Amino acid sequence: MNDQLARAFELFDRANAQDPNSIIVDGEQRPKELVFAERLTEAVMDLDPDASEALQLASRCQHIRRWEVPRDTQPMGRTGYLKWRKGLQKFHAETSAAILREVGYPEEVIERVQSLNQKKNLKTDADCQTLEDALCLVFLEHQFDDLIADTEEEKMIRIVQKTWAKMSPRGHEAAQELDYSPEAAELLTKALA
């Protein structure tokens, strides 16, 4: 990792370490978005050990300071959800760009990171697809069981089917290698039948 990339990671991590929400990882309470960023970067590097610098940066800042734009800032329902997501993407893009400028990245790199974070050209951009696969893998490996516990089965089946449709064959292969709980494995089987 070069010095500029390391400094960007340090600043992204410092920003995400301020998350007031925490999760327990290996018996230690840690900031939720910091853990998510680390996991996403790890998933990207597992999928593509030669990931471009822009892809590595995008993986580390995908949800930067996400807690500052809570879901309840928009009405419930599909329209409100989509409006929230669009506003969140803009917030993440602006927040990450400010850090990347501080570190000294040129505008073309900043624009590339923002394009990846906003999932532009998902099915035609290999880096964007790798990021999407990694996002789906982090969900399946670390968030799936909690969502199963709080969501009715029919809705979970739709969520799994939508998640699976976003992934590439490489992502599917990686997902099939994950170690699932019995409940998650059963739900996956039903959703993908």
Is residue 22 classed as helix, strand or coil in its secondary structure?
strand
Of the candidates 58, 33, 34, which has an alpha carbon nearest to the alpha carbon of residue 128? 58
Which of 101, 118, 135 is the C-terminal boundary of a domain? 118
Question: Are residue 131 and residue 94 in the same domain, yes or no?
Answer: no
- How many domains, in total, are found in the chain? 2
Model confidence, pTM: 0.92
Contact between 167 and 175 (Cβ < 8 Å): yes
Res 130: pLDDT: 96
Helices of type H across the chain: 3-16, 32-47, 53-61, 78-103, 107-117, 126-138, 144-150, 153-166, 169-176, 182-192
**Main-chain dihedrals φ then ψ at residue 168, nearest 5 degrees:** -85, 170
- Range(s) of the domain holding residue 180: 122-193
Spatial separation of the C-alpha atoms in residues 17 and 1, rounded to whole Å: 21
Res 123: pLDDT: 79
Question: Are residue 165 and residue 186 in the same domain, yes or no?
Answer: yes
Contact between 101 and 88 (Cβ < 8 Å): no
Question: Are residue 113 and residue 133 in the same domain, yes or no?
Answer: no
Question: Are residue 128 and residue 191 in the same domain, yes or no?
Answer: yes
Question: Are residue 102 and residue 163 in the same domain, yes or no?
Answer: no
Spatial separation of the C-alpha atoms in residues 193 and 190, rounded to whole Å: 5
Tell me what percent of the residues of the chain surpass a pLDDT of 70: 100
Question: Are residue 174 and residue 96 in the same domain, yes or no?
Answer: no
Q: What would the pLDDT profile of 69-122 be if each residue is shown by its tens digit? A: 988 888 898 899 889 988 888 899 999 999 999 999 999 999 999 999 988 887
Question: Are residue 87 and residue 3 in the same domain, yes or no?
Answer: yes
Q: b/e per residue, 59-73, with b = 16+ CB within 10 A?
A: bbbbbbbbeebeeee
Res 125: pLDDT: 92
Question: Are residue 72 and residue 96 in the same domain, yes or no?
Answer: yes
Question: Are residue 73 and residue 144 in the same domain, yes or no?
Answer: no
Res 189 pLDDT > 90 = yes
Which of 118, 148, 163 is the C-terminal boundary of a domain? 118
Which of 118, 144, 164 is the C-terminal boundary of a domain? 118
CA atoms within 13 A on the CB side of 164: 17
Question: Are residue 126 and residue 161 in the same domain, yes or no?
Answer: yes
Spatial separation of the C-alpha atoms in residues 60 and 36, rounded to whole Å: 9
Res 1 pLDDT > 80 = no
Question: Are residue 102 and residue 139 in the same domain, yes or no?
Answer: no
